[in-house]
Structure 1
Amino acid sequence: MTADHDELPAVLGGFDLADQSRYADGVPYELFARLRREAPVLFHPGRSTADGDGFWVLTRHADIVAAGADPAFSAQGGGSRAGGGSHLEDLPMGVHAGVLFAMMDDPRHDLIRRLLRPAVTGKVAAGLADPMRGIAAELLAGARAAGGTVDFMKDLAEPYALRAISLLLGAPRADWDRLADWGRANLGFVNRLTATVDDGSRAVFAQMQQYFTELLDHKRTAPAGDLGSVLALGEIDQASGERPLTDLERDGNAVLILITGFEQPRNTIASGVLALAEHPEQWKALREDRSLLDGAIEEILRWAPPNPYNRRTATRDVELHGRLIKAGDKVTFWWPAANRDETVFEDPETFDIRRTVNPHLSFGTGTHFCLGDQVARLEIRLFLEALLDQVEEIRLTGPVVYAPNNKHTVILDMPVELVPLGSGS
């Protein structure tokens, strides 16, 4: 779609979905409900996008599931575009789009998934349980020693998620502080606080790339049973006719896995505990009956998906609900909107850990369903178990602060008091 600077459609009520600053108050759920009812396939003008291009907005669960399964909507690119990818702005083809497996189409995307999946599922995932359980217990013990008043994000969710993904990738413990510093400064390519690319975020990203180039070089000489070693040495099935993995693909996807494996559990765990703090009757029910834990994990995922949207590119003309999406147009899937679709979820605006029908889309859908879903669920479970072992009540002690970011739902500050079990408070 060519540059489009028209006024926002009235149904948006003045809310520009591409304006990062609008997300400093969190996800616009009321707007998404209106779009599902009145404009489930909406063309959004590009007045706030980096390239001035508009984009289509899908908000209904069924439409997103169908589009996610349709190769007409590419994660890589399409039409006459020179770039593509999963962000609103086009990323360069052959550098990001078409290289990072989250911005790649089948069959190569599926082959890389098949290569990596054994390193994040089954026995490998289960083998992370004991060390992650120890990390969660250690962090909570530290919070208790500090009097229980902490910033949940900075003191608990952030270090827990960073250490978990470092274990998965096989990054040495001596490097964890350095990785944590980068994670606090950047969210992918952008400055975490401003959601913009600046000289500092470019420098941090370059350091991350260099680090993983060196880490994977080390794994080639001293492989271990970790995901980093698979990225360093693994090969896709050559019977497929696809070319071998390039160094750019290996190093780039290591950085991608660090970013997503840190960012998404970090934000989901914090958002889930926030929901439990805001719904104390749900926390009480979970403390009294841990058989509700599976349902609580799924409801946390539904209630607080870590990514507001993913972008695709139409590879051919597609008509949907009477609207013509043309080849080359950008199309966005809005996961929080789908997760509260009234036609799919009963009473979707209620946080309910006893919910039994819960086909949320927080891990995506179609061929790009999240590679690390088993590890993600395990991380949430182990942290909640540690919290249940030590904490009677979760009290917010100040305002929750969000980053201005429409690609990730990022909590920056979440001050809480964790009241210990048996305190009588």
Structure 2
Amino acid sequence: MSDAPIFEIDVPCFWQDPYPDLARMRAEAPIAYVPQLGAILLTRRDDIFINEKKVEVFSSDQPNGLMTVLMGQNMMRKDGAAHMAERKAIFPAVSPKTVNRVWAEQFRAAAQRVLDDLKDSHSGDLVRDFALPVSAEALKCITGLTNMTAVQMDRVSQGMIDGCSNYSGDPVVTAHCNDCTAVIDAHIDAMIPILEPRPDHSLLSVQRQAGLSDAQTRANIKLAISGGQNEPRDAIAGTAWALLKHPDQLSDVLRGRATWLQAFEEYARWISPIGMSPRRVVQAYDFGGVTFSPEDRVFLMFGSGNRDEAVFDSPERFNIHQNCSAAISFGAGPHFCAGAWISRVLIADVALPMLFAQFPNLTLDGETSFGGWAFRGPLSMPVVWGKHVRPSM
């Protein structure tokens, strides 16, 4: 057992707003054991950046971890050659070339359909009515599970996310997660005979073409769904919210003084949609005045590192003009998010510019609520968008 100092949290309060506790940890106990989470938290950016690369100490292989138990051992829960082999197998589905030549056009078409569906209404919830279906339709294409509806995709993604962060062991959450993974397996089963004679660039197809086992293929598709739905969904709605709350910065983007990518990457730093990644200690290790012991559970707190006062000039503020190149929103080591390029294109090239082009009068219509610490994003976002406007061609 590690000798890290103990830091107590109130779990519901931490879920509502983790930032005050994380700021205290960075200042008082940057490496601390949180008994309510059963883990040692690394909260400073540079400590995370250095140690995420040390896979010989902080292993992603977690046989008893929630993700592995509930979803199967995907490539994110492997290290070294095993991880790289599966990463290579999925590359044809997520490479910048494929995203630009295959997926981007499909993303735009799907986003336009979603916007068209909203043209007869004048208000709604931006998370539910726009960000959710845009993210889900993109993920259907990428995974190959085009037989799912957007609502189904969001449901199974959220179910797995809740299951993988269910550190209190709520049996209802676990049962729901198991139901969601069974639904995914059923949709995979239905798509295999369709894609087998007509292979494409989807994750299901490229993994089978590469000869990955059925278990590997299913686990990696579940991984893609668990992170590939909530992160773009929450970042689309969240970045729009941040820009609407900072109209001067929105004006800078619309006038070409900043880019949509700057806005997205600053939002991903400020409110990290994926706020944590777990690791298992595999050998004794001393760092930062703390001794780590084998089998200790460690959480790399990306959401805290992205607000590190020692690294960023104004970490508590959303500011698209500040330098956020040191952010670790997509990770920092060999497990750097394989879908990072997909997220950038979907959010910064498609969803945000199309949303604001067609709804130039988009305004907030009430409070936007946020939640989560392992995964964080807006829960609801009431807006008024007014008359539907189609951009001139």
TM-score normalized with structure 2 length:
0.88
Amino acid at match of 1:30: P
Deviation at 1:210, TM superposition (A): 2.4
Deviation at 1:351, TM superposition (A): 1.0
Q: Is the 8 A contact 1:56 1:332 kept in 2?
A: yes
**Distance change >3 Å, CA 356–CA 233, structure 1 → 2:** same
Identity of paired residues, percent? 26
Pair 1:169 & 2:143 matched: yes
d(CA) in 2 for partners of 1:393 and 1:22? 35
Deviation at 1:407, TM superposition (A): 2.6
d(CA) in 2 for partners of 1:29 and 1:402? 12
Q: Which residue of 2 aligns with 1:240?
A: none
Pair 1:413 & 2:375 matched: no
**Distance change >3 Å, CA 223–CA 292, structure 1 → 2:** closer
d(CA) in 2 for partners of 1:191 and 1:360? 24
Q: Which residue of 1 aligns with 2:47?
A: 63
Correspondent of 1:278 among 236, 245, 248: 245
Q: Which residue of 2 aligns with 1:207?
A: 183
Q: Which residue of 2 aligns with 1:388?
A: 356
Q: Aligned pairs, how many?
A: 383
Q: Which residue of 1 aligns with 2:365?
A: 397
Pair 1:15 & 2:15 matched: no
Amino acid at match of 2:245: E
Correspondent of 1:249 among 197, 213, 216: 216
**Distance change >3 Å, CA 288–CA 176, structure 1 → 2:** same
Amino acid at match of 2:254: R
Deviation at 1:188, TM superposition (A): 4.0
Pair 1:33 & 2:23 matched: yes
User: Is the partner of 1:368 in helix, strand or coil?
Assistant: coil
User: Is the partner of 1:179 in helix, strand or coil?
Assistant: helix
Q: Which residue of 2 aligns with 1:107?
A: 81
User: Is the partner of 1:70 in helix, strand or coil?
Assistant: coil
Q: Is the 8 A contact 1:24 1:401 kept in 2?
A: no
User: Is the partner of 1:346 in helix, strand or coil?
Assistant: coil
Output one character per residue of 1:110-150: Cα deviation in whole Å (capped at 9) or x when no partner.
11111212321122101222221222233234334201x11
User: Is the partner of 1:190 in helix, strand or coil?
Assistant: helix
**Distance change >3 Å, CA 115–CA 55, structure 1 → 2:** same
Q: Which residue of 2 aligns with 1:346?
A: 313
**Distance change >3 Å, CA 201–CA 119, structure 1 → 2:** closer
d(CA) in 2 for partners of 1:178 and 1:350? 33
**Distance change >3 Å, CA 412–CA 349, structure 1 → 2:** closer
d(CA) in 2 for partners of 1:68 and 1:164? 29
**Distance change >3 Å, CA 177–CA 57, structure 1 → 2:** closer
Q: Which residue of 1 aligns with 2:59?
A: 74
Deviation at 1:44, TM superposition (A): 1.6
**Distance change >3 Å, CA 22–CA 205, structure 1 → 2:** farther
RMSD of Structure 2 on Structure 1 (CA): 2.9
Deviation at 1:177, TM superposition (A): 4.7
Alignment of 1:346-385 (within 5 A): 346-381=313-348, 382-385=350-353
Residue ranges of structure 1 left out of the alignment (5+ in a row): 78-82, 236-244
Deviation at 1:312, TM superposition (A): 0.2
d(CA) in 2 for partners of 1:258 and 1:104? 18
Bigger shift: residues 332-341 or 255-264: 255-264
Q: Is the 8 A contact 2:71 2:181 kept in 1?
A: no
Q: Which residue of 2 aligns with 1:131?
A: 106
Amino acid at match of 2:9: F
User: Is the partner of 2:334 in helix, strand or coil?
Assistant: helix
Amino acid at match of 1:136: A
Deviation at 1:258, TM superposition (A): 2.1
**Distance change >3 Å, CA 373–CA 185, structure 1 → 2:** closer
d(CA) in 2 for partners of 1:41 and 1:350? 24
User: Is the partner of 1:128 in helix, strand or coil?
Assistant: helix
d(CA) in 1 for partners of 2:383 and 2:341? 28
Bigger shift: residues 265-274 or 56-65: 265-274
Deviation at 1:178, TM superposition (A): 6.4
Q: Which residue of 2 aligns with 1:238?
A: none
Deviation at 1:386, TM superposition (A): 0.4
Output one character per residue of 1:232-256: Cα deviation in whole Å (capped at 9) or x when no partner.
2213xxxxxxxxx321111121122
Correspondent of 1:258 among 225, 232, 241: 225
User: Is the partner of 1:313 in helix, strand or coil?
Assistant: strand
